[in-house]
Amino acid sequence: MSDYYARKNDCRLGIKSFSLLFRIVKFNSYFYPDTMSFSLDEITRLAPDEASVKAGEKLAVVSNWSDTGRSENALWGNCKGSGKLPYRVMVDLGNIAFKCSCPSRKFPCKHGLSILILQLRNTSEFTQNPNPEDVQEWLDKRNSRAEKKESSESKSVDPEAKAKRIESREEKVRNGIEELQLWLKDLVRNGIVSIPQNRFQFNANIISRMVDAQAGGLANRLRQFNEIDFSQQSWPEELMYQASSLYLLSETYVNRNVLDEERHSDLEQWIGWNITKEEVLKTDAITGNWMVLSCQQSEMDRLTMEKIWMYSEQDKRFAQLLQFFAPGQIMETHYLANTTIEADVHFYPGKQNLRAIPSALRKTSSGCTVISGFSGITLALDAKTAYRINQPFGNEFPVVFSAVSVVRHNQKWMLKDSDNIGLELINPELEIMKALSITGGKPTSIFGCIHRTTFMILGIWFNSIYYSF
């Protein structure tokens, strides 16, 4: 079997016992389908910590609440507190946000989480009504602030000052790349056998140097060296693949003058050049309904990065949103997987760039309809190859498969299609078990990202219901 192919009769596993077991235990909390409400798992993802979820669940009893109601874009109610007056709780359902009169500094607080859980458990308690005056006033203020922010971002910048900043940064990046290329050559010249024993030290200085050179994209690629599994026999191959790709990227920057405008824009983003939101919003918007398929958070250099994948059924196009926030900072916009939003989406300049910024978020509804995807893994790999022609340094390629199953082969978990061709899965074991508990091992539609020779499951449709990971 090659890096990602498994042939006929090689992919077999009796998994019905797994299915029965995991349908009974913990995973049930993930799969609470409701066309009108967020699932418990989605509510949990909004919470600042586990303690807030537990406190919110404890409060989610009808006797603790009064004057509850909902409209197309809001949820509200009064929750009993320790004081004489109840706490007033409001939720913006269009662009997920919370407001509560309690003194808590957590966001959202336990009362905001509780009202979502209460509505999930007791939908009949929330009759459809026009927004109360205080709720509508809060929503109007939020919309007004968003409009003012967009207006301030559209103000012109002094072109002379901007040119000087660009020139200064180009010099820093150029000097940084000279040092990076020398470091990469030394890495190959001196050998890599001792790297596993110094996996977090061998590249620390060059990472700091790339940060100083304002080449954050190169610094992030160097950090990926530390994520290599050095317990595997294939680690030298993976290390040299990443090192050679990084050298190729640095050479591309050295010879950037031969690139056209689109590829030059791509190159700057790979290096770490930030494109302002103002510039992105100048691009033509794709307007319509976007399904939010995945929302995943990871820690990166003392910041939390949230990666959101969306898909437009109308335009047959994926979009990747990235949000960064420091500890204790409130996210500008909350996104929930397994929802559909109506929005204008602007893509970053470049050739087949997937990164985007949404604007004019208008409406949120629950659920993601089944996407028609690739019938086989070979077709998806061919599409990935075509994508890499335009995005040679892209790390992941989003795809939907129409009929694939999760199987065990040679002590590895695989995604197998009807031709018995497979891709190795890199999901944690717990997520693999979740996939088996949903599907029972049966072929179904699966969304995820192809990495170099592996696949990460990010969502599954089964019986027309979508389960995000």
Percent of the chain topping pLDDT 70: 88
How do beta strands 97-100 and 285-300 pair?
Answer: unpaired
Which uninterrupted H or E stretch holds 262? helix 261-271
Residues 234, 212: one domain?
yes
- Strands 339-347 and 317-325 turn out to be unpaired
Please report, to the nearest 10 degrees, the dihedral formed by the alpha carbons of residues 69, 75, 80, 81 taken in order: -160
Beta strand 356-366 with 74-79: parallel, antiparallel or unpaired? unpaired
Average pLDDT score over residue span 307-335: 84
Residues 288, 265, single domain; the answer is no
Does the pLDDT value for residue 186 go beyond 70?
A: yes
On whether both 212 and 313 belong to a single domain, the answer is no
pLDDT 10s digits, 190-221: 999 999 998 889 999 999 999 999 999 999 99
The candidate with the shortest Cα–Cα distance to 467, out of 43, 33, 25, is 33
Say which residue the tokens 């798992």 belong to: 41
Q: Tell me, yes or no, whether 303 lies in a domain.
A: yes
Segment 105-131 shows an average pLDDT of 89
Give the pair of three-digit tokens for residue 291.
Answer: 């399904």
Domain enclosing residue 63, as ranges: 37-145
Q: Of 271, 293, 321, which one is at a domain's C-terminal end?
A: 271
In this structure, the answer to whether residues 300 and 395 fall within a common structural domain is no
What pLDDT, in 10s, does the model give residues 404-444? 999 999 889 999 999 999 999 999 999 999 999 999 999 99
Rounded CA-CA distance 92/363 in Å is 10
Cα–Cα distance, 227 to 247 (Å, whole number): 19
Model confidence at 157, in pLDDT bands (50, 70, 90)? low
Question: Angle formed by the axes of helices 204-212 and 159-190, to 10°?
Answer: 160
- Among residues 359, 335, 453, which one has the least CA distance to residue 397? 453
Closest-CA residue to 355 (of 469, 168, 150, 217): 217
Is residue 299 pLDDT above 60, yes or no? yes
Evaluate whether residue 445 is within a structural domain. yes
DSSP code of residue 226: G
Return phi, psi of residue 48, to 5°.
-75, -25
- Across 137-141, 201-205, 296-300, least confident range: 296-300
**Do 20 and 82 have their domain in common?**
no
Q: pLDDT band at 12, cuts 50/70/90? A: very low
Count structural domains, the chain. Answer: 4
Residue 161 has pLDDT above 80, yes or no: no
Residues 232, 138: one domain? no
For residue range 257-283, list pLDDT tens digits in order: 998 888 888 999 999 888 888 889 888
Average pLDDT estimate for 439-463: 94
Residue 148 — very low, low, confident or very high, per pLDDT cuts 50/70/90? low
Say whether pLDDT at 323 is over 80.
yes
Residue 152, domain member (yes or no) = no
Identify which has the larger pLDDT, 8 or 180.
180
Kindly state whether residues 307 and 332 are assigned to the same domain: yes
Over residues 42-56, mean pLDDT: 86
Across residues 136-154, what is the average pLDDT? Answer: 72
pLDDT band at 163 (very low <50, low <70, confident <90, very high): confident
Q: What is the mean pLDDT of residues 385-409?
A: 92
Of 107, 122, 145, the last residue of a domain is 145
Across 242-251, 321-330, 392-401, least confident range? 321-330
Tell me if 453 is assigned to some domain. yes
Q: Label residue 3 by pLDDT band (50, 70, 90).
A: very low
179 in a structural domain = yes
Does the structure show a pLDDT above 60 at 19? Answer: no
Question: 99-103, 151-155, 160-164, 320-324 — which is least confidently predicted?
Answer: 151-155
Q: In this predicted structure, which of 211-225, 227-241, 292-306, 446-460 has the lowest mean pLDDT? A: 292-306
- Residue 136 vs residue 298, higher pLDDT: 136
Residue 456 tokens read as 């990460």
Are 398 and 352 members of one domain? no
pLDDT over threshold 90, residue 111: yes
- Say whether both 409 and 427 belong to one domain: yes
Residue 225 corresponds to which amino acid? F
Query: Which of 366, 390, 415 lies closest to 116, judged by CA?
Result: 366
pLDDT greater than 50 at residue 9: no
* Co-location of 125 and 200 in the same domain: no
| pLDDT of 11 strictly over 80 | no
Q: Are 234 and 290 in the same domain?
A: no
Both structure tokens of 349: 């300049």
Q: Look-up: residue for tokens 């539609």?
A: 445
Q: Would you call 205 exposed, middle or buried from its count of C-beta atoms within 10 A (0-12, 13-18, 19+)?
A: exposed
d(CA 22, CA 16): 10
Residues 222 and 242 in one domain: yes
Range 56-71 average pLDDT: 92
Residue 225 in domain: yes
Residues 380-397 have a mean pLDDT of 91
pLDDT > 90: what percent of the chain? 54
Confidence band, pLDDT 50/70/90 cuts, at residue 37: low
Q: What does the mean pLDDT of the chain come to?
A: 85
* Cα–Cα dist 414/454, whole Å: 9
pLDDT band (50, 70, 90) for residue 4: very low
pLDDT-derived band of residue 18, with 50, 70 and 90 as boundaries?
very low
Q: 8 in a domain, yes or no?
A: no
Q: Establish if 62 belongs to a structural domain.
A: yes
Q: Is the pLDDT of residue 331 over 80?
A: no
Is the bond preceding residue 443 a cis peptide, omega within 30 degrees?
Answer: no
360 pLDDT band, cuts 50/70/90, is confident
Please give the backbone phi and psi of residue 264, each rounded to the nearest 5 degrees, phi first.
-65, -40
> Given 308, 334, 366, which residue is the final one in a domain?
366
pLDDT of residue 394: 84
Residue 373 banded pLDDT, cuts 50, 70, 90: very high
